Structure 1
């Protein structure tokens, strides 16, 4: 089996966007003694896109960070959740979660970059680009840091906008997809049913470094942005930054952060609520729950949770990756309902040769029906399914809902120990 870590697009071997090589571009700028201008993401309206909130007569000016603030710094101190304020909440929640895991944030935002040493107007976020930022009245138009002279979050947002096509493409995205893009992890959405079961899942996930976020589900488009009586915003994304218990474990609390940096939860167990009077100072110190106006609050009131599952560090997982496509009349056979064409779909063999020593659960195999299958067909960017199977040979069939639906896909297969797929 080939080494996935060396495959193009792997974390250790990222693809060069539009064939732009950071070191080559940087060397050219140093040699010519000029600041980089990105031809692939020009400082014009096309890179911003169509945003209803922007009026045609507004004078948007693209400036470099030092033109915005003479004391501009790439990072002030260290990357932190409070470095991200204002902007698209789903993206900010993902970035806020990312700052809680130093190994991940240092991968996405390589260290050692600054506006001082050998500055070329070029920064690297696995997507290289020029560093002019859109401003209105000399203030950043989109994401900005709490520190007025810190720019890493605004520059990372620009790199992501470049990858997606324009800033307008960042409106109304998915939290889990953003976390998946930044980390290469596996996105998973958990619907809240039993709070007790969810509590265990969240604690386990946080202990193994999983990125977690949540949002309050809006029942209709008109509800998006509405506040609950406790100042929670419907349809708004929050990052989960920690958990804790008080009163001898009888009360379980989640610590969430509003990426806007303001508008905190005001219900029971909020910063100024009387419930905290029953908790001694040592317990508060252990929980690191000191009152502050930074958008963080504690609550277990949620409707859905979207964590980015990065895997169990206790397990020995191996990954194999495959790229494929559905071509009409050739490899787009549709779902199982289309018995005459289903066999045309792309197929990948999986051989399980070693037991993972976990014997809970029983699975019955059938030669005529699938041993397992993912969720219903839906308009999601990705689907995920975890199964436990007896040793043997299996075939993964990638399909669309109907025949002749064209498209491309990327398949990742995780298996324990010496198992393989091809």
Structure 2
């Protein structure tokens, strides 16, 4: 059984600090260790079968095949499909494979781009894998998934019908790297069916761990061809898409382009035609057939207007799915172009100007940090906030400033294992300039800031995409970046990446203590004699109060008549309070311990009543934030999210009893840490750890 999620989050953060999840040291997907599994199979003399992605219908997924075809599927190993199977034959090329029954042209278009980058391809394919040396039916591939590199293990049983592969297949019958790579990616997506429909940028990012930039071709920058040319020189992966047709299917237009289809950019060149330069783009259809029939297509007479050398170098009159098209026709007939690279240096004309990146992981949580867009001014401020200080341009970049100096990308992480079931929110972000009087501010910017300041930049619109991005020019100064979902109270995790060619300092305000001004309640004092009288009323003959007696005391004297409390303090919460205040570890409170508890409980009650502005008898999560702060406890977004999950439940509201219990727990656990810490850390033996956690 895995550890609780909070523990796993801490472990993952530590693993990240230790370099786990990097390209050199990827995480083991599903905790499957390739080397251990392979050695086990070799030692025991049998071929590997993956129980995490088994060779059955569940791995194919729903609605991809008809029930009749699903019954015909047989999972075969490569040696049962072709003689002398090989991982690769004569290297790796975009012409090696053809698309199968899965609607994953976006994935195959991305592979086509990947085949041009040998070093990246070898990282994904793990270099030398074969069916000869130490073969036991196990393979593995590396993908970047939402901030971490993962090593994905698969068996080599592939789905077939009548002995033929039903998904991607190699044009060389005994070559199997495309089918195995597709299976590994289907595993991280959830199934083959989960690969239906997508954008090339998604797979390109998963192959590189880089950043992607999209240009909408209806509003393409005037220097698009130059950008593409420089991107090609920078070993970028590039893909593009055509607009959808009138029907969902991939229909072929009269000009030979497939509607609603993903393609790969495979070449950028300038030729001289009739004494004038022509800027051409080479495009590849992952079907391996069906090509553009317009100007500069394979049979175009325009090829007779270039030099014989250029014609011999560029023209290939073969039905292979690849063709040339002018940048003008490209912008006219395609919808968008995606560029994925490790770093967006190609954006600048000066090759010596390098961009640097910072990456931040965050989370929107209903009621605590999911404030929605600016259409919701009362909750917008609770969204995660990132403060950015931009210095002047780096000296090497100052001569050729270019059009941009900041690239911001926002990626949402899925809430489901299966890609097709993951809820995709409409996401975007705003960038605000920080006025001089607030420079150096620490902590979350309050609601009033966003009501009096307008954004200086933002995403064009909110879209339900895995990733949104924006390129901007920002003058030196301080800025605040606020990533949001469109609607408030939508829970999701995200990754915010900020690339800059200027000197930039970034601080996450989300996990500072809040700076919102919270009015403190006027607390009423109580006479010590009254407290002693109350204690004597409920204590036993030995002058002590146990959890049952404390429960009666609190429910009668603290709750009665003051709030709309229906359930009161539970016996379990009273046991917890006794444990937290019991200095003698007897399971009971003496008079001194009781008086301390009573003093804190009455104080927290007054804070609760002061924070319950609508007099509902409960605290909403936003009211809870203010109430906890009023008690003197520093609070971060992450901690508030956990508290809301633990104490708010499905209703999202907290009763007085729950509030007193949770604030007392926070107060006492902070006290334990202060007493035991040494230089900001605690070192405990296992029995000490168990003592603290089991009696609190």
Q: State the TM-score, normalizing by the size of structure 1.
A: 0.91
Whole-Å Cα distance in 2 between the matches of residues 120 and 362 of structure 1? 51
1:218–1:362: structure 2 CA closer, same or farther, 3 Å change rule? closer
**What is residue 289 of structure 2 aligned with on the other side?**
262
The more displaced of 332-341 and 189-198 is 189-198
Alignment deviations for residues 297-324 of structure 1 (CA, whole Å, 9 cap, x no partner): 1123332233233121633333222222
SS of residue in 2 equivalent to 1:163 = helix
What is residue 504 of structure 2 aligned with on the other side? 419
Please list, as runs of the form range in 1=range in 2, the aligned pairs for 1:18-417 lying within 5 A after superposition.
Answer: 18-56=30-68, 58-87=71-100, 88-126=104-142, 127-193=152-218, 197-222=223-248, 224-244=249-269, 245-247=271-273, 248-285=275-312, 287-300=313-326, 301=329, 302-310=333-341, 311-312=344-345, 314=351, 315-353=353-391, 355-357=393-395, 358=397, 360=401, 365=433, 367=435, 368-416=453-501
Which whole-Å CA distance do the structure 2 matches of 1:205 and 1:352 have between them? 25
Q: Residue by residue, what CA displacement relative to the aligned partner does 1:370-396 show, whole Å, maximum 9, x if unpaired?
A: 332223222111111233334444332
SS at match of 1:266: coil
Distance in 1 (CA, whole Å) between partners of 2:382 and 2:190 is 34
Q: Deviation at 1:354?
A: 5.6
* C-alpha displacement of 1:112: 0.9
**Contact 1:180–1:308 under 8 Å retained in 2:** no
Secondary structure of 2:240's partner?
Answer: strand
Q: When the two structures are aligned, how many residues end up with a matched partner?
A: 419
Contact 2:390–2:502 under 8 Å retained in 1 = no
Provide the aligned C-alpha RMSD in A. 2.6
Q: CA shift at 1:68, angstroms?
A: 0.8
Alpha-carbon spacing, 1:158–1:43, altered in 2? closer, same or farther (3 Å): same
Paired position in structure 1 for 2:24: 12
Q: Distance in 2 between matches of 1:98 and 1:34?
A: 33
Query: In structure 2, do the counterparts of structure 1 residues 27 and 394 end up closer, same or farther at CA, with 3 Å as the change threshold?
Result: farther
Deviation of 1:146 (Å): 1.4
Point out which structure has higher relative CO (alpha carbons under 8 A, 6+ apart).
1
What is the rounded CA distance, in whole Å, between the counterparts of 2:163 and 2:17 in structure 1? 43
In 1: Cα distance, 2:266 partner to 2:459 partner: 30
Q: What whole-Å deviation, never above 9, does each CA across 1:216-262 have from its counterpart, x for those lacking one? A: 2124335x422222322111221111123241444332211111112
Larger Cα Rg: Structure 1 or Structure 2? Answer: 2
**Larger mean Cα displacement after TM superposition, 409-418 or 22-31:** 409-418
Match of 2:8 in 1: none
- Structure 1 residue 132: deviation in Å? 0.7
* Cα distance in structure 2, aligned partners of 1:195 and 1:299: 18
Deviations 1:96-142 (A, max 9, x none): 01101112111111211101011121112121111111011111110
C-alpha deviation, 1:50, in angstroms: 1.7
- Determine helix, strand or coil for the equivalent of 1:243: strand
Name the stretch that deviates more: 290-299 or 63-72: 290-299
Q: Which has the higher helix share?
A: 2
